[in-house]
Amino acid sequence: MILKNFVNHVRTVLPEHIELSDVDIWFQDETRIGQQGSITRVWHYCGQRPRVVRQQQFESAYLFGAFCPSSGNSVGLVLPYVNKQAMQLHMQHISKEVAHPYPQHPATEPPNLWCT
């Protein structure tokens, strides 16, 4: 299980020139919220079954969120769809929240995001 030996796993995948103390771990998730109407029963006189129009449309939204426990930073998006472009937008929002590791050397590489 990866969570049992998470620190050891991170050390094995990090390049040698990056210190573990310079790494921020972000947790992300996405989910769909919405409701499809299905209740068609209504109160009426005993023995009668009135016709009721059932709601057929289905509206939903997708929530994207990420959190860094060590810094307390978090980002979130509400989008009408999920696809490659939506995930790319989510990653761009996370990138904006990640602090540059070397502010005294702005020409150095920006932080990498690794999503599995």
pLDDT, one tens digit per residue, over 42-53 is 777 888 777 776
Residue 3 counted as domain residue: no
In this prediction, residue 14 carries a pLDDT of 84
Dihedral over alpha carbons 52, 56, 58, 59 (to 10 degrees): -60
Residue 68 counted as domain residue: yes
In 3D, which of 3, 63, 4, 60 has the Cα closest to residue 28?
63
Domain containing residue 67: 25-30+61-101
Residue 14 counted as domain residue: no
In this prediction, residue 45 carries a pLDDT of 82
Q: Are 101 and 71 in contact (CB under 8 A)?
A: no
Provide the pairing of β-strand 58-67 with 27-36. Answer: antiparallel
Look up the pTM and report it.
0.63
Looking at per-residue pLDDT, the higher value among 99 and 3 belongs to 3
Residue 111 counted as domain residue: no
d(CA 7, CA 62): 31
Quote the number of domains for the chain: 1
